[in-house]
Amino acid sequence: MHVNNLADTEPFVTVDGSTIQELAGQVSLPAANQSLAQATIPVGGATTAHYHPVAEELYFITRGAGHMRVAHEEREVRDGDCIVIPPGVEHKLTNTGPGPLELLCCCAPAYRHEDTILTEDAPPADTVSAT
């Protein structure tokens, strides 16, 4: 049995500039076919628009509110919402709430830096945070 606790995970930065804590996947527990990570987007922050050629991704909002764009579809999201992001589809999440936006990110197959293609310039490192 493999068990990991969020408090014991080391944050790392993904290709899209997000800082995440992986609970299961290639960096942490030996999950062969998927990964699970927690991300936090600070007030006014956003991910860099990107897509994953291979991985399907799920975002599950656990706290806060934001604006989600998947391809040309846009909508407001909040805690309790789950967003399905198909492989090869550009997406971006912006925090529009008064506090941090927290979410779980699930990727199948597991997240790999090589499977992330940026579609806009990344902001300076001091203005970026999660997902």
Distance, in Å, from the CA atom of 43 to the CA atom of 23, rounded to the nearest integer, reads 24
Residue 5 tokens read as 């606790």
DSSP for 104-122, written as a single string: EEEEES---GGG-EESSPP
pLDDT (tens digit per residue) in 43-101: 999 999 999 999 999 999 999 999 999 999 999 999 999 999 999 999 999 999 999 99
Tally of CA atoms within 13 A in the half-sphere of 96 that contains its CB? 13
pLDDT (tens digit per residue) in 30-46: 888 999 999 989 999 99
What domains are there in the chain, each with its CATH number?
Answer: 16-127 (2.60.120.10)
